[in-house]
Structure 1
Amino acid sequence: MQRRQLGQLEAEVLAALSETPDRALSTAELQARIPGDPAYTTINTVLFRLHDKGLVTRERDGRSFRYRIAVDEARLVAGRMHDHLRYASDSFNVLSQFVKTLSPAEEEALRRILEDG
Structure 2
Amino acid sequence: MRGFGDLEAVIMEHLWARPDHASVRDVLEALQPTRPLAYTTVLTVMDNLHSKGFLARERIGRAHQYWPTRSRTDYAAELMGEALADSGNPTAALLRFVESMPPEEASRLRGALQDLGAEATDAGPAR
Give the TM interval when normalised to the shorter protein.
0.5 to 0.7
Which residue of structure 2 aligns with residue 28 of structure 1?
25
5 Å-filtered alignment, 1:9-48, equals 9-21=7-19, 23-34=20-31, 36-37=34-35, 39=37, 40-48=39-47
| TM-score w.r.t. length of structure 2 | 0.61
Unaligned runs of 5+ in 2: 114-127
5 Å-filtered alignment, 1:1-117, equals 7-21=5-19, 23-34=20-31, 36-37=34-35, 39=37, 40-89=39-88, 92=92, 96=96, 100=100, 108-117=104-113
Alignment check: 8 A CA contact 2:53 2:69 kept: yes
Unaligned runs of 5+ in 1: none
Alignment check: 8 A CA contact 2:54 2:69 kept: yes
* In structure 1, C-alpha distance between the alignment counterparts of 2:24 and 2:99, rounded to whole Å: 35
Give the Å deviation of 1:47: 0.8
* In structure 2, C-alpha distance between the alignment counterparts of 1:32 and 1:95, rounded to whole Å: 43
Question: Root-mean-square deviation (CA), in Å?
Answer: 3.2
Give the Å deviation of 1:63: 2.8
Give the Å deviation of 1:36: 4.9
Distance 1:74 1:97, change over 3 A: closer
Larger radius of gyration: 2
| TM-score w.r.t. length of structure 1 | 0.65
* In structure 2, C-alpha distance between the alignment counterparts of 1:66 and 1:85, rounded to whole Å: 34
Identity %: 29
SS of the aligned residue for 2:53 comes to: coil
